[in-house]
Amino acid sequence: MAPYLLGLRLGGRRVLVVGGGRVAQRRVPALLAAGAEVVLVAPEVTPALDDLIRDGRVTWHARPYAQGDCAGAWLVQAVTDDGKVNGAVAAEAEAARIWCVRADDADASAAWTPASGQVGETTVGVLAGGDPRRAAGIRDAVVDGLRDATLEGRHSRHKPVGVALVGGGPGDPGLITVRGRQLLAQADVVVTDRLAPRELLDELAADVEVVDAAKIPYGRTVTQDRINDYLVEYARQGKFVVRLKGGDPFVFGRGGEEVIHCARHGIPVTVVPGITSAVAAPSAAGIPVTHRGVAQDFHVVSAHIAPDAAASTVDWQALGRAQGTLVLLMAVERMALIAETLVRYGRTPDTPVAVVQDGTLPGQRTVTATLATVAGVMEAEAIRPPAIVVVGDVVAVAREVDMIRADLGRDP
């Protein structure tokens, strides 16, 4: 017969645990977490149980079980390693109409402990016909599904509202945050970018509307305004909108403008940080942006506007003089001029440079050069966006690691 699953609210109610070994050690914390008043009967206890006793969280009677111990308990756990003792405990409980769980003999047990887990306010309990491993496996799958919201998704009562600006990470779909994935799974509408990881969209339910921001109609110059309007329009229809961006939404992503626009229109907006390509692309290529004794600072620079353009607000002179690592975004088309500018303002022409294209993606590749040679190398290697340019001695750290590995490989 199938068991009848209950959620016991044990707050302030006495639970008798007979036995002080490993099973007790596993069950007592869960009973305490449910607020039970735990009374433990056992001649000896494990160190972990002893800690709980000393903290005053468990009452311990340091002796073997004796007839009459069940009196006053709402629930009994018979978890000694002696079947006879467990049987005697169960018999006393049965006679007193108290539910008793026997650890040693599932068939003889009046009640079973499900594999359980807690995610927010949801408690999961799984019984798998007396197969505890299978129950634990199913519990894990359900708990994982709840954590990343793939299980309940958009039909939850706790569905978020408004707009969430979600950083999708640098490209590898595994590098979005857990929170980002959760919100994505709950979205009614996803407004996405060219650089946001595509694979994440494949997981969405068929009725989720996916809007490619690059394809929103109207002239090019007003595209950002149209995106802003879209976010507000959808949110006003009561839809939960995820604005999915590459990297971090606030690193050269115009996320700030979108937040301001939503705020102006009274739309609640949350921001979920993402792993920025500025750090992740170098790191995926083995280049640490800081390294003890080599670089204590790193500068993340947009090269979207050329160094010699009037509209540039970047202090290239200071970057030329600075010692730290430079991380250049959107620099592919202008690298000759940038390298020249940096050398003019103080960097030596032989400063190491690495260019990481498609960082963290399957097609990731790195080319290395110096400030003197980088433009030519990039052209010869046909480097295309998206790519990150790293300037500074940290580039050599990746080479050092490669050399160490090669040396080890050569050893007999």
Can the peptide bond before residue 362 be classed as cis, meaning omega within 30 degrees of 0?
A: no
- The 10 Å Cβ neighbour count of residue 408 is 8
Does position 186 interact with ligand SAH (CB under 6 A)? The reply is no
Does position 271 interact with ligand SAH (CB under 6 A)? The reply is no
Binding characters for ligand SAH, 88-117, by CB under 6 A (x = yes)? ------------------------------
Which position's Cβ is nearest ligand SAH?
247
Contacts of 64 (CB under 8 A, 6+ apart): 41, 42, 43, 85
Contacts of 113 (CB under 8 A, 6+ apart): 27, 101
Binds ligand SAH (CB under 6 A): choice among 116, 385, 396, 397: 385
Give 364: exposed, middle or buried? Use CB within 10 Å, 0-12, 13-18, 19+: middle
Tell me whether residue 402 is one of the annotated catalytic residues.
no
- Per the residue annotation, which of 107, 202, 215, 411 is the catalytic one? 215
Stretch that binds ligand SAH, among 2-10, 113-121, 240-248, 260-268 (CB under 6 A): 240-248
Does position 361 interact with ligand SAH (CB under 6 A)? The reply is yes
Strands 269-272 and 163-167: parallel
For residue 247, give the DSSP letter: B
Does position 356 interact with ligand SAH (CB under 6 A)? The reply is yes
- The 10 Å Cβ neighbour count of residue 110 is 15
Does position 281 interact with ligand SAH (CB under 6 A)? The reply is yes
Per DSSP, the residues of 339-370 read HHHHHHTT--TT-EEEEEESTTSTT-EEEEEE
Q: Are 204 and 210 in contact (CB under 8 A)?
A: yes
Stretch that binds ligand SAH, among 220-228, 270-278, 285-293, 365-373 (CB under 6 A): 270-278
Binds ligand SAH (CB under 6 A): choice among 70, 146, 195, 371: 195
Does position 168 interact with ligand SAH (CB under 6 A)? The reply is no
b/e sequence 11-27, b meaning 16+ C-beta within 10 Å? eebbbbbbbbbebbbeb
Tell me whether residue 229 is one of the annotated catalytic residues.
no
Give me the least distance between CB of 190 and ligand SAH, in Å please: 17
* Closer CB to ligand SAH, 139 or 243, in the complex: 243
Q: What residues make contact with ligand SAH under the rule CB under 6 A?
A: 170-171, 195, 245-248, 251-253, 276-278, 281, 329-330, 356, 358-361, 385-388
Catalytically annotated residues: 193, 215
